[in-house]
Amino acid sequence: MNKDRVKGIIDEVTGSAKRKTGELTGNTQLRAEGMAQQVKGKVENAWGTTKDAVHDAIEDTEAHLDAHVTLRMKNPTADLECRKGK
């Protein structure tokens, strides 16, 4: 979990509290601010999730490449075997 996701979750929770407080007190400005902060939090959380997914994909690709290079060093025909699987 990265800082964008943490910040997003905090904004979602804070926004939800503001929105509910605004609803209970009849304060439309507080309700609107809360709704806006909730949306901001959802966007931040989604951005953080995307960044995590890209980071994970890069790590998986690097691990595959490392394994491929190691296998190729041990077995020169491994490259042919790997290509057959595609």
Among 33, 7, 10, CA closest to 20: 33
Q: What pLDDT was estimated at residue 15? A: 97
By CB neighbour count within 10 A (0-12 exposed, 13-18 middle, 19+ buried), where does 65 fall? exposed
Integer Rg of the chain from CA: 23
Domain boundaries, the chain: 3-84
pLDDT higher than threshold 90 for residue 29? yes
pTM, two decimals, is 0.67
Instruction: Express each pLDDT in 32-49 by its tens digit.
Output: 999 999 999 999 999 999
CB half-sphere exposure, 13, CA atoms < 13 A: 6
